[in-house]
Each structure stands twice: as C-alpha cells, then as structure tokens.
Structure 1
C-alpha cells in the first residue's frame, strides 16, 4: 500500500515505521525539515518538506496514487482541512484525522471523516485503569 502521512511527530513516525516494516510505501510531509530528524535512518520512509493542506504539495508527495492518508499533525484545524481536501479531491480509500480536542470530534465525524481522538482514548485508558 501507498501511505501518505501529514505531520512528522512521534505518533506519525511510530506509525510510519511499523507500516514501512510491513512492506508498505510510506511518505511523510511536513513543513519543518527539522521534524524529520526523529526518523530512524534505517527505515525506508520518504520525507517531503511541504504543506499537507496545499494541493500542489500533496500531489508532489504522491497523494493521487495513495491508498491511505493520515492527518497526524498536533493542530486539529490543519488536520481537518487536509483531510477534507484529500476526501473531496482525491480517490483515497482510507483517510484518518487526528483530533486532540474532544469537542471537535463530533463535528469532524459529521463531515464524514474517520477521527482518532487522542484525548478521548487516553482518558478512557486512564479511567479503565483506575476502576
């Protein structure tokens, strides 16, 4: 599979490394080249300096031939913008959008996006651990 990830952070790199180790082609796009320093050089992950909310940058990373798009930046608004753009302009099978603010979770879902709410997931794990 061809996977494009917007945002280079610990979550994105962990996902990218695991997907790459399974034989998938993974590309990460980020506006800050310094963010790529956390990637293990032995991994086969393509890195592109660019903005995942800009169509021309998405196309340069190969969004048109991708199977999966993951919007994993720490900024909810940028994630929703990129996910909506990819959903409306490109024929991508799976689009996931990371959301930190649980109040935005429902809004994003109403837009037809697959949402991963880190705050809700962690809160649930904490509550399950103390019961």
Structure 2
C-alpha cells in the first residue's frame, strides 16, 4: 500500500516506521526538515519538506497516487483541513486524522473523517492501570479501540450469577476465567454460570 504520512513528530515518525517495516511504500511530509531525525536510521521511505496545506508539496509527495493518508500533526485545525483536502480535492477515501482535543471529535466525524485521539486513549489506559489489578489489553480494529480488563470475584460476590456482575456503562461481559485458568467465552447465548471466589470476569468496552 502507498501511504502518505503528514507530520513527522513522535507519532508520525513512529507510524511511518511501523508502516515501513510492514513493507508499505511510505512518504512523510513535514515543514521542518529537522523533524526527519525522528525517523529510524533504516527508514526506507521518502521524506518531503513542505507545508502540509501546500497542494504543490502534496503533489510532490505523490498524493495523487497514494492509497491512504494519515494526518498526524499536533495542530487539530491543520489536520482537519488537510484531511478534507485529501478527501474532497484528491479523492482519497482512506484518511485518518489525529486529534488532540477529545471534545472536537464530533467535529471531525461530522465531516465523515476517521479519527484517533491519543489523549483519550492514554486517559482510559491510565485509569484502567490505576484501578484494575490485572493489566488491561487494548485491541484496535479499523479506527476503533476496545479495551479488555479483568475483575476478580471476591468473597462478597461468591455465588452470584455471571449476569449479576457489576459493570460500568458501555461494558459487556466477554468471558470468564476459572480459578484453574480455563477461559469460557460468552457467546450471547444462555451462559449464566454461578461464579466462585477466585474466578475472573473479562469485561470489554470500546474506548475510541
């Protein structure tokens, strides 16, 4: 896949490196030539110095032939403008934009743009790490990220049914890990076992 990455800060350089390692053809655009020092020494893609909103710079970067674009500068306003240019002017359907302010997420979505918010992801991950005894896991599918965390059944909840497990808004029960380590998935059927102290309930929720 031919991917254009706009912005070569910490996020942009890491993304470009991952895509490059996966074998994609990657071109990175940034107005500051020093930003390309963030890239790994073995980065095999192309770097273009230019303003992200400059149509000439985008054309020099091969925007008209790219399959996807990631717009990941620190400036939300710049990201939404460049993303709209990519979709409306150059006809690129697969555009993902970074937003730093979670409150502006709806603005981006109203334009039909796919977004990722590092602030929101980090906040949810830190909250989970602070409040849950088992390490949480996150999985990103498309532009949505789901988190999986575990609540251990304590003495006070010994003998309750699975359906009675306390859940936060937006959480669903994914499965149960018995005290012997065996995991049973909840398939949306009639599974509603009685839980014992030491069992662990796996909860899932979409965080972005």
The aligned residue for residue 43 of structure 1 is: 43
Please provide the CA RMSD for this pair: 1.0
Is 2:110 aligned against 1:110?
yes
Equivalent residue runs for 1:1-131 within 5 Å = 1-131=1-131
Shift of 1:19: 0.8
2:81 and 2:94 mapped to 1: Cα distance?
A: 16
Question: 1:62-110 CA distances to partner (integer Å, 9 max, x unpaired)?
Answer: 0011011000001111111100110101122310000001111111111
For normalisation by structure 2, the TM-score amounts to 0.61
Shift of 1:118: 1.1
Structure whose residues are more often helix by fraction: 1
2:45 and 2:63 mapped to 1: Cα distance?
A: 15
Shift of 1:38: 1.6
2:32 and 2:6 mapped to 1: Cα distance?
A: 11
2:80 and 2:91 mapped to 1: Cα distance?
A: 17
Question: 1:18-76 CA distances to partner (integer Å, 9 max, x unpaired)?
Answer: 11111110000000101111212211021000111121111110001101100000111
How many pairs were matched up?
131
1:129 and 1:106 mapped to 2: Cα distance?
A: 27
2:93 and 2:22 mapped to 1: Cα distance?
A: 19
- Which structure: larger Rg? 2
Structure whose residues are more often strand by fraction: 2
Q: Structure 2: which 5+ runs fail to align? A: 132-208
